[in-house]
Amino acid sequence: MIEIKNLHKSYKMGSNSLHVLKGINFSVEDGELVAIMGSSGSGKSTLLNILGMLDEADEGEYLLDGIPIKNLNETKAANYRNKFLGFIFQSFNLINYKTALENVALPLYYQKMPRKQRQEKALKYLEQVGLKEWSHHLPSELSGGQKQRVAVARAMVAEPKVLLADELTGALDSKTSYEVMDLIQKINDQGNTILVVTHEPDIARMCKRIVHLKDGVIVKDEKVKQVKALANV
Ligand code: ADP
Ligand code: MG
C-alpha cells in the first residue's frame, strides 16, 4: 500500500536548514495497523504529512498503492488525497458551525455526491462510530472523545485506502484514548490500513507493528502482540 525509499526532508529557515528526515525506508502492506512512535521533534508529523501528500520530500521515492507520488500538480494531488487517504488529527479539526452529520458528509461534498446520498452515507458512518443519535449536534455539544469519533467517521466516509492519524489521542484522557483506539482496532479488523503517529508507548502497543523514529531515522521496526484497547477501559 505504501512504499518509501530513502526519504529526506529539511526545513529551510533563512540561511539555516534543519535536516528532519534522514533517509527513511519502510513499507506498509494492505490491512496493517502501524504505529510510528518517537519523542517530540523526532520527525513523526513531517513523515506523516509527506505520506499524506500534504508536504513533499526533498529526496527519495514514495509509492502509494503502486503510484509514484512526485511532482503532481495540485489537482491531481488533491484527487489522490481524496481517493486514497483519510486524516485524523489531535485537535479534531471539525468545523464548529456544522453539525456532526455535516462534518462527516463534507468529503463527499468535495466528491460532488448528491446531497441525499451524502447524508445517508454520513449517517451510516456516524452509526459505525456509535454517534447516530448525535448527528444533529454541533461539535461544541460533544465531548472530546465524541468529537474524535466524528473525525474518525469523517476520515472514513470516502472509503480511503489508508487512514493517517497524527496523535489522535493527544487531547484525550486515558480512558477516552482507549475507547478511540478500540474504534481504530475495530476499523482495522474490517481490513483498513491505518498509520497511527504517537509519542505514547501505551497507544503504540495497541497497534500490530511499531516503527520507532529517532532524530529522523528509523531505529527499530517490530511486529508486536496487539494489546486490545478495551482491556484498559
Ligand atoms: P514530531 O511530530 O515528531 O514532534 P515534527 O515532524 O513536527 O516532529 O518536527 C520535527 C522537527 O522539525 C522539529 O525540530 C520541528 O521544530 C521542525 N519543524 C517541523 N515543522 C517545521 C516547519 N514547517 N518549519 C520549520 N521547522 C519545522
Ligand atoms: Mg507531531
Beta strands in 51-106 (DSSP E): 59-64, 67-68, 85-89
> Mutation test of ligand 1: which of 11, 42, 44, 164 has the most ligand atoms closer than 8 Å to its C-beta?
11
Ligand 1 centre from 23 Cα, in Å? 16
For the chain, what is the domain count? 1
**Tens digits of per-residue pLDDT, 178-218?**
999 999 999 999 999 999 999 999 999 999 999 999 999 99
**Tens digits of per-residue pLDDT, 65-81?**
999 998 888 888 888 98
- The answer as to whether 12 is a domain residue is yes
CB 64 within 8 A of CB 56: no
- The answer as to whether 228 is a domain residue is no
- The answer as to whether 129 is a domain residue is yes
Atom of ligand 1 nearest to the CA of 40: 4
Segments forming the whole domain that contains residue 198: 2-223
Nearest C-alpha neighbor of 29 from the set 187, 194, 189: 194
- The answer as to whether 233 is a domain residue is no
- The answer as to whether 33 is a domain residue is yes
- The CATH number that applies at residue 73 is 3.40.50.300
- The answer as to whether 232 is a domain residue is no
Residue 83 confidence (pLDDT) above 90: no
- What amino acid is encoded at 96 in this protein? N
Atom of ligand 1 nearest to the CA of 166: 2
- The answer as to whether 230 is a domain residue is no
Residues in Cβ contact with 85 at an 8 Å cutoff, skipping those fewer than 6 apart = 52, 53, 160, 161, 162, 163, 164
| HSE, side-chain direction, 13 A CA sphere, residue 182 | 15
C-alpha cell at 100: 456532526
> Which ligand gives the minimal distance to the CA of 36?
1
pTM listed for this prediction: 0.95
Confidence check on the interface: ipTM exceeds 0.95, yes or no: yes
- The answer as to whether 229 is a domain residue is no
Atom of ligand 1 nearest to the CA of 43: 6
